[in-house]
Amino acid sequence: MTDQKGKGSGAGADRVATGRFTTDEIPPESVMLTRLDAALNWARKNSLWPLPFGTACCAIEFMGMVSSVFDLSRFGAEVVRFSPRQSDLLIVAGTVTYKQAPILRRIYEQMAEPKWVISMGVCASSGGFYDNYCTLQGIDKVIPVDYYVAGCPPRPEAVLQALVEIQNRIVANPAPR
């Protein structure tokens, strides 16, 4: 029995053909629905490219963080870059002087959007015990900081926690700054 348009009027006549399957036959495990910003944030979260700006002893701890013991790559930040144009995560590790401040600012400006900053150690965060005429009392005087890691020097686990926190912020905040 067929209707006027030539389609069958029996059971299943209202199915719409979409490739190999009709809409009611598509296996649910083969379909993933999401929003574009959620997919982009998932990709950003799992592919951070860090740029280390190491000036003192905290830079040695960064080397420990990328070693096989702590393995930064298991958190999706495997590709350490030394070019700001290829990086989206700036890790400032160590003392920053007033003479280095314009360089740090320029490196930050050269990074592509969206970008994030970790201030690693007490010297980068607040100047540390170098309260003198030539030491910048925190990099937040020059560039915005997303996460501060305490310690002199901080343990690699603390920096990994900062990385995980930034990843959580990326997923929670669909609009980059």
Q: What are 29-84's pLDDT values in tens digits?
A: 766 667 788 888 888 888 889 999 998 888 888 888 888 888 888 887 778 888 99
Which of 75, 68, 105 lies closest to 90 in space, CA to CA? 105
* Count of structural domains within the chain: 1
Task: Say whether pLDDT at 25 is over 70.
Answer: no
Residue 144 located in a structural domain? yes
Tokens read off for 76:
């999706």
Residue 32 located in a structural domain? no
Residue 1 located in a structural domain? no
**Half-sphere exposure (Cβ direction) of 98: Cα atoms closer than 13 Å:** 6
Residue 145 located in a structural domain? yes
**Average pLDDT estimate for 156-166:** 92
Residue 93 located in a structural domain? yes
Q: Judge whether 83 and 106 are in contact, CB under 8 Å.
A: no
Percent of the chain residues topping a pLDDT of 90: 42
Percent of the chain residues topping a pLDDT of 70: 79
Q: Which residue range forms the structural domain that includes residue 143?
A: 49-172
Residue 18 located in a structural domain? no
Q: Judge whether 109 and 119 are in contact, CB under 8 Å.
A: no
Strand (E) or helix (H) holding 164: helix 156-172
Asked if the peptide bond before residue 154 counts as cis, ω within 30 degrees of 0, the response is: no
Phi, psi (deg, nearest 5) at residue 110 = -80, -15
Looking up residue 100, the CATH number of its domain turns out to be 3.40.50.12280
Residue 153 located in a structural domain? yes
Residue 12 located in a structural domain? no
Q: What angle do CA 143, 62, 165 make, to 5 degrees?
A: 60
Measured between alpha carbons, how far is residue 154 from residues 54, 70, 96, 120, 133 in Å? 13, 13, 16, 7, 25
